Structure 1
Amino acid sequence: MSDPGISVVICAYTEDRWEDILAAVSSVRAQSYPALETLLVVDHNPALGERLERAYRTAEDVRVLPNSGPRGLSSGRNTGIATSRGEVIAFLDDDAVAERDWLRRFAEAYADPRVLAVGGRTEPVWASGRRPAWFPEEFDWVVGCTYRGLPPGRVRVRNVLGGNASFRRTAFEAAGGFATGIGRDGGHRPLGCEETELCIRLTRARPDGVLLIDDRAVIHHRVPRVRENFAYFRTRAFAEGLSKALVARSVGADKGLESERRYATRVLPAGVARGLRDALLGRPGGAGRAGAIVAGVLTAAGGFAVGSLRARRESYATAGTGDRTGGPHE
């Protein structure tokens, strides 16, 4: 099978990340497996769009375009998908940089025609220079990174993680795009899970398809100081619970929570035990990590309960008006 052409989509929304955006684009342009194009999708920020257009006016491999849908990451990604030319579309966060062989690892996996999506490993780059002693690796998803509990190597998974992921174009033709009612929308609450919902829909549409994570496809994701504190940790955990409730409503609890059950019953108890052991041995942060895991679970569960209640109320209201349009992606 011939090597696929890969379009890279980077969604940006604020000039506060100007240097990060430039670094992200530079990392794509330095790939050992060259991208077909880099699409910078700007989320309803004309000033940022104009500034990026000036910066890349003479670049033949970089295009800047506005989000053509409602505000939010899902719409931005959908805009990139619709505009891109590649057989494969890869997504990179605007505050991350990819290692040189990032796209090469993706391309290698697509040699198997059954493969519809490939994700990679996302490493945190802490603004303070080091991981906070209390911050458990099991919760690195809080800051958009690969967390302890994911299997190593190149393995099949239920879903890839959106900030470091790629999809074959035919995947979107089979399942549609990202749901605009689930992920981040520019508001204050850091919602997510739009890639989980998409991957579950994709598996249903293409049961023969394969979804992979290859931990050699590495990006480095910047974690600002404001996200290194416990207040953000709790806010993000609660928002994750809300998002999981939306996913469960959209695709059903069986698939929507399948991986989360294993994570909650195996990975997290082991993390608590490890933290308590470290505390007994006098190692820094052990008790804090164990406590953070317990707090994170309870907070996420609270978010899920609130989200589920809201979803039921909306379902009742929809049924009462005779509107049966279903989930947010339909």
Structure 2
Amino acid sequence: MNDTSAPGIALRDEPARPGLSTRPPDVHISVVICAYTADRWVVMREACRAVQEQLAHADELIVVIDHNEELLHRATSQLDGARVVPNSQTRGLSGARNSGVAASAQGVVVFLDDDAVPRAGWLESIRSLFADDAVAVVGTRVIPKWQGSRAPSWFPEEFGWVVGCGYRGQPTSRAAIRNPIGASMAIRRTALLSAGGFTSEVGRVGALPVGCEETEFCIRLSEQHPELAVIFTPDAAVDHFVPVERQTLRYFLRRCFHEGRSKRAVARLRGKAQALSAEKHYVKVTLPAALARGVSPRSILREPASPARACAVLAGLTATVWGYVTAGSTYGSSAR
């Protein structure tokens, strides 16, 4: 259950090194954007432009296309300034990220979702933190950019993770964390090689709303190298586009259900204590506070939708727990 071996993902032709403090004097960065559908083409081009404006000398932008030949051709011909490569591994986000790492040449790999656009100063804020050799992983703020300008009135801020964004209960200042939000995160390349990259046993495949590949990786990395730091910084931020189809109660509950299934898969791979370490505080402190706010007379007078948000908190928690309980050992086959 607590096996710390790597998932057997070959990333590049160089071996993992026992010591991970081998960065060059200057921190150079490979930004990796993974894409599987042309539906996000407009936002992805905006993301690429924003990244290119922030690249320093020797930095690079790599776009990985996940088993979509038409999109691969389009990206290769139209994304000037980016190196476009196919996902040469198993279909899904884990395989695509590993393909990006294999193609990368710099000491820090920054992963950016194809529908997330960096704000000014994003890359430099990340770069500055990797001047410390003890830092292996950096997570940033991920701010929802709702199609239609605002979140549904019933949507609780505590569930921002449902749409791949930050949420109430996260740190608001620089802090040690278990794992970052995958939409915008940076990992030292030697750490990726040493731990073996992302496992395809968890993680999103196409539109199926599963996840936790970065959670499993960070737990595995911490098991192998407890001296390395995983930190959150509020100084770097991206705007993560949330389309209308992800603003429905149906998607909310489906995503919560599959989060529970994903957490069960992580527990199977890395152990229950580590897989649920951050969730204990979230369930015991963050969600009860959300419920109390939702039903308080003052909140209801100020925001009539507060009770609806409280109901969504209960529904989301129930769906997540149900997904965890019912996942059993069938996650890997059913997720694909």
TM-score (norm: length of structure 2): 0.89
Alpha-carbon distance change, 110 to 22 in structure 1, aligned in 2, over 3 angstroms: same
Partner deviation per Cα, 1:109-154 (whole Å, 9 max, x = no partner): 1111100010100000110111111100000000000111011111
Alpha-carbon distance change, 34 to 218 in structure 1, aligned in 2, over 3 angstroms: farther
Partner deviation per Cα, 1:299-327 (whole Å, 9 max, x = no partner): 0000000113536x99xxxxxxxxxxxxx
Alignment of 1:163-182 (within 5 A): 163-182=183-202
Deviation at 1:31, TM superposition (A): 1.4
Q: Is the aligned partner of 1:126 residue 2:149?
A: no
Hey, what does 2:36 align to over in structure 1? 13
Q: Is the aligned partner of 1:210 residue 2:229?
A: yes
Hey, what does 1:294 align to over in structure 2? 314
Contact preservation (8 Å) 1:120, 1:217 = yes
User: What is the CA–CA distance in structure 2 between the aligned matches of 1:309 and 1:64, rounded to whole Å?
Assistant: 36
Letter in 1 for 2:251: Y
Question: Whose RCO is larger (CA < 8 A, sep 6+)?
Answer: 2
Count of aligned pairs between the two proteins: 310
Hey, what does 1:220 align to over in structure 2? 239
User: What is the CA–CA distance in structure 2 between the aligned matches of 1:97 and 1:30, rounded to whole Å?
Assistant: 12
Letter in 2 for 1:29: Q
Runs ≥4 residues deviating over 6 A: none
Alpha-carbon distance change, 300 to 279 in structure 1, aligned in 2, over 3 angstroms: same
Please report the RMSD computed on the Cα atoms of aligned residues, expressed in angstroms: 1.8
**Aligned partner of 1:2 among 22, 25, 28:** 25
SS at match of 2:232: strand
User: What is the CA–CA distance in structure 2 between the aligned matches of 1:284 and 1:68, rounded to whole Å?
Assistant: 51
Partner deviation per Cα, 1:174-228 (whole Å, 9 max, x = no partner): 2111111110112x53100000000000001101000111011100000000111
SS at match of 1:104: helix
Hey, what does 1:55 align to over in structure 2? 78
Q: Is the aligned partner of 1:237 residue 2:260?
A: no
Alpha-carbon distance change, 32 to 73 in structure 1, aligned in 2, over 3 angstroms: closer
**Aligned partner of 1:38 among 44, 48, 61:** 61
Hey, what does 1:275 align to over in structure 2? 294
Q: Unaligned 5+ residue runs, structure 2? A: 1-23
Contact preservation (8 Å) 1:234, 1:299 = yes
TM-score (norm: length of structure 1): 0.90
Letter in 1 for 2:75: L
SS at match of 1:132: coil
User: What is the CA–CA distance in structure 1 between the aligned matches of 2:216 and 2:175, rounded to whole Å?
Assistant: 19
Contact preservation (8 Å) 1:159, 1:196 = yes
Hey, what does 1:317 align to over in structure 2? none
Contact preservation (8 Å) 1:29, 1:35 = no
User: What is the CA–CA distance in structure 1 between the aligned matches of 2:290 and 2:26, rounded to whole Å?
Assistant: 41
% identical aligned pairs: 43
